[in-house]
Amino acid sequence: MSRATRSSKEPRFEEALERLETIASSLEDGDLTLEQSLTLFEEGVRLTRLCATRLDEAQKRIELLTRHEDGTLQTSPFDAAGGEPDAGPDGETTDD
């Protein structure tokens, strides 16, 4: 499916995630009928699968970007603070 087709029919990842939060909040409130709850639950399952697919696609894109010419992947932990990972004596990263 092309991105143009997908974007016209399906929400962006961020929109789907926001809608999931709204659905979860509505279900947690408990003020819905059984039928309304089931309808929202079904929508939530669909959106969860959509988000999982988008995350898988993003992971594959990242792996392609970090693949060396010899085909091996270079992996390093993500550091949200922007610092470099600490390397131990054996070259493995540590969580210090």
Q: Is residue 16 part of a domain?
A: yes
- On whether residue 39 sits in a domain, the answer given is yes
> Is 27 a member of any domain?
yes
Are the C-beta atoms of residues 37 and 27 closer than 8 Å to each other? yes
What is the pTM assigned to this prediction? 0.62
Whether residue 96 is contained in a domain is answered as: no
Q: Is 64 a domain residue?
A: yes
The whole domain housing 23 covers: 3-71
pLDDT, tens digit (0-9, with 9 covering 90-100), for 5-37: 455 688 999 999 999 999 999 999 999 999 999
Q: Is residue 86 part of a domain?
A: no
Which residues, 6+ apart, have CB-to-CB distance to 20 below 8 Å? 44, 47, 48, 51
Residue 67: give its domain's CATH number.
Answer: 1.10.287.1040
3-class DSSP string for the chain: CCHHHHHHHCCCHHHHHHHHHHHHHHHHHCCCCHHHHHHHHHHHHHHHHHHHHHHHHHHHHHHHHCECCCCCECCCCCCCCCCCCEECCCCCEECC
Average pLDDT over residues 34-53: 97
Domain count for the chain = 1
Q: What is the mean pLDDT of residues 47-55?
A: 96
Look at residue 77 and tell me if it is in a domain: no
